[in-house]
């Protein structure tokens, strides 16, 4: 059953990419987009040895955000609703990353600064570029960007406290999420980009898939003896 759910997620991803790439198939998005996080969430629930409520909440909120953003061109409130849903999803992912790591010091401070500083600088630079076009959405977009950066940092800072595979998958997924949202923001508030919708959805679907795969890898891994509570 779980393999069928994963296949459904991949098919829904392919269908949605087709919908945003070929105008004649645009209506397919209304069928495929709601299936994306529904199938991925059910896959996680079936595949996990002990499903995390925070992960399920993050996926459910992402599903809600996808649905609201389907109608963003009809009214700005749908965009704001989607923004808030994904903000809450990122907050849940931050909590989930804390759950999905072992006790221990992790990487040294110098490593954390070296990896984290470019993420923060990229977020600040993007906000600075977008700021003139944000208008009344400046505050919610700034708040969203701050939480997004924290989500990426929380994913990266799991290094040394999980398996190499789990770390890599979550870190790549978090980075792709930031890339997807950056393309979306530039396309909406700065200047239209060629094939923007395709790249937004490709990186977004890959991000969600990588994050789920990475968290599942941690759940299935044995806890190192040194990290077990006394």
pLDDT tens profile 45-91: 999 999 999 999 999 999 999 999 999 988 899 999 999 999 999 99
Tokens of 45: 């629930």
Per this entry, what is the length of the chain? 230
Mean pLDDT of 178-204: 97
Question: Which residues make Cβ contacts (< 8 Å) with residue 169, sequence separation at least 6?
Answer: 210, 211, 213, 214, 217
Q: What percent of the chain has a predicted confidence (pLDDT) above 70?
A: 96
The answer to whether residues 162 and 221 touch, using CB atoms and an 8 Å cutoff, is: yes
75-83 CB contacts, 8 Å cutoff, 24+ apart: 80/137, 80/140, 83/140, 83/141, 83/144
pLDDT(194) > 90: yes
Distance between CA atoms of residues 193 and 128, nearest Å: 18
Per-residue model confidence (pLDDT) at position 15: 97
Mean pLDDT of 162-166: 96
Q: What angle do CA 86, 87, 91 make, to 5 degrees?
A: 110
Question: Which residues make Cβ contacts (< 8 Å) with residue 127, sequence separation at least 6?
Answer: 141, 142, 145
Model confidence band, residue 224 (pLDDT cutoffs 50, 70, 90): low
Helix, strand, coil abundance in the chain, percent, nearest 5: 80, 0, 20
Distance between CA atoms of residues 42 and 1, nearest Å: 10
Q: What is the pLDDT of residues 87-107, one digit of tens each?
A: 999 999 999 999 999 988 889
Q: What Rg, from alpha-carbon coordinates, does the chain have?
A: 18
Mean pLDDT of 34-53: 97
Q: At what angle do helices 2-21 and 196-220 cross, to 10 degrees?
A: 160
Mean pLDDT of 156-171: 96
pLDDT(126) > 90: yes
Distance between CA atoms of residues 81 and 185, nearest Å: 15
Tokens of 48: 């996990």
Model confidence band, residue 222 (pLDDT cutoffs 50, 70, 90): low
Mean pLDDT of 152-179: 97
């Amino acid at each position: 059953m779980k393999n069928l759910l994963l296949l459904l997620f991949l098919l829904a991803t392919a269908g949605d990419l087709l919908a945003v790439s070929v105008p004649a198939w645009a209506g397919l998005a209304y069928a495929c987009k709601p299936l994306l996080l529904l199938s991925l969430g059910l896959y996680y629930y079936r595949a996990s040895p002990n499903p995390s409520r925070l992960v399920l909440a993050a996926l459910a909120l992402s599903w809600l955000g996808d649905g609201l953003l389907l109608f963003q061109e009809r009214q700005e409130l749908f965009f704001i609703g989607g923004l808030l849903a994904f903000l809450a999803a990122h907050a849940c992912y931050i909590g989930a990353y804390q759950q999905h790591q072992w006790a221990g010091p992790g990487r040294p401070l110098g490593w954390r600064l070296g990896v984290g500083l470019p993420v923060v600088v990229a977020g600040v630079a993007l906000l600075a570029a977008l700021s003139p076009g944000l208008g009344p959405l400046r505050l919610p977009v700034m708040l969203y960007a701050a939480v997004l950066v924290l989500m990426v940092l929380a994913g990266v800072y799991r290094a040394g406290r999980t398996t190499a595979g789990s770390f890599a998958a979550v870190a790549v997924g978090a980075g792709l999420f930031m890339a997807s949202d950056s393309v979306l923001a530039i396309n909406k508030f700065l200047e239209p980009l060629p094939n923007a919708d395709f790249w937004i959805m490709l990186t977004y679907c890959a991000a969600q898939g990588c994050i789920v795969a990475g968290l599942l890898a941690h759940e299935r891994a044995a806890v190192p003896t040194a990290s077990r509570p006394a």
